[in-house]
Amino acid sequence: MPDLGVRVEVRESHEELIEFDVIGRGRGLIAAEHVHTRATERYEVIEGTMRLVLAGREHLLRTGDVMETPPGTPHRQLPGPAGEGRVRVTVRPAGTTHEFLRRLASLRMPWGFPKPLDAAAIVRDFGHDGHAAKPPLRVQRALSRALLAAASREYLFVDEWDVAAPREAVFHAIAEARTYPEWWRPVYIDVEASGEPEVGKESRQHFKGRLPYHLHTRSRITRLERPHIVEADVDGDLRGHGKWTLTDTPGGTHVRFDWQVFADKPLLRVLTPILRPAFRWNHAWAIARAREGLEPYARRIAV
């Protein structure tokens, strides 16, 4: 982690604990005051010195010294008076510490601190285990949610409805994308695919909604469990992941569609923060057309 002034060598890592050596002179994020919610952190100075500020009181640790920080205690780990040090850190329980270290190693932090969006993602992903001492965690979470929502191009949709048709017929209609222009009208204009659906099989789609644009995508089936689940990755003008889950009901089939999508078409990428409500309205309109067309089509092919 050159931007943070240190190198980290992980010695042991599992659910109970993680043990790692920190070598160098830490700065920036890792030297800021922070709190571990549930973990006890132990420090053993192997080489050099270390300053530990614990609940506002500073301690100078020399080679061979050991100290611990109890859960919930604000603290800072700072380099000693001169030279590089090597401090062996043990965190019990490990929690998400290993993942947190990997995240830090993957980021560019020229000033020693992550960029705003990276910092917001750190609060979102790791705040339950550890966080900055100030402001309060609830404030940090509120700010991170607002920042991520403002910058996000991600949409998460979950739609559920019942279809009065056998599950096998509904599964066929959904898994066989070439049928979409027949029943999911006028959303799907054209679908190209070769052969029967199977894991790894790709198809190409041309479709539109109520908004004034056409989209072209390519889908690849990633999971196919007849007649229960169809999952696919999508890229092109839209990039995302879709999952259809079908369950039997007394009157036919319950359909659930989980759709995670990123608006990667250049125009959509620019306008997403402004037009997010319109995109959700567009999705609702498209799903309404699926509700209208899936049942009569599935009933017809089931005869």
Q: Quick one: pLDDT at residue 217?
A: 92
**pLDDT in the model for residue 264:** 58
CA distance 216 to 191: 10
Both tokens of 198, joined, read 């199977």
Query: How many Cβ atoms sit within 10 Å of the Cβ of residue 171?
Result: 23
* Bridge-based pairing state of the strands 18-24 and 85-92: antiparallel
Predicted confidence band of residue 239 (pLDDT cuts 50, 70, 90): confident
Cα-only R_g, the chain: 26
Question: What's the pLDDT score for residue 109?
Answer: 93
Count the Cβ atoms, other than its own, within 10 Å of residue 125: 14
Determine the pLDDT at residue 210: 86
In this prediction the pTM is 0.56
- Average pLDDT on 266-275 reads 57
- Under the banding of pLDDT at 50, 70 and 90, the label for residue 195 is confident
What value does the mean pLDDT of the chain take? Answer: 91
Spatial distance between the Cα atoms of 205 and 187, rounded to a whole number of angstroms: 10
Predicted confidence at residue 213, as pLDDT, reads 79
The full DSSP string for 30-70 is GGS-EEESS-EEEEEEEES-EEEEETTEEEEE-TT-EEEE-
- Average pLDDT, integer, range 166-191: 96
The answer to whether residue 303 scores a pLDDT higher than 70 is yes
| Chain Cα centroid distance, residue 97 | 17
Question: Which of these, 86, 117, 89, 84, lies nearest to 101 by C-alpha position?
Answer: 89
Q: Give CA–CA dist 210/278, Å, rounded.
A: 10
% helix, strand, coil for the chain, step of 5 = 30, 40, 30
Note the pLDDT of residue 266.
Answer: 60
Among left, alpha and beta (phi > 0; psi -120 to 50; other), residue 30 is alpha
pLDDT tens for 101-142 read: 999 999 999 899 999 989 998 998 899 999 999 999 999 999
Contacts for 72 with CB less than 8 Å, ≥ 6 apart? 35, 36, 37
Cα–Cα distance, 264 to 155 (Å, whole number): 12
So what's the pLDDT on residue 279? 79
Cis status of the peptide bond prior to 197, with omega within 30 of 0: no
How far apart (Å, rounded) are the C-alpha atoms in residues 136 and 278?
35
Mean pLDDT of 78-86: 90
Tokens of 8: 């980290």
* pLDDT 10s digits, 240-257: 899 999 999 999 999 999
Mind listing the domains of the chain with CATH numbers? 2-112 (2.60.120.10), 154-302 (3.30.530.20)
The average pLDDT across 211-222 equals 89
Give the number of C-alpha atoms closer than 13 A to the C-alpha of residue 247, restricted to the C-beta side: 6
> What are the tens digits of pLDDT across the range 20-78?
999 999 999 999 999 999 999 999 999 999 999 998 899 999 999 999 999 999 999 99
Distance CA 169, CA 160 (A): 17
Over pLDDT 90: what percentage of the chain? 77
Average pLDDT of the segment spanning 197-218: 90
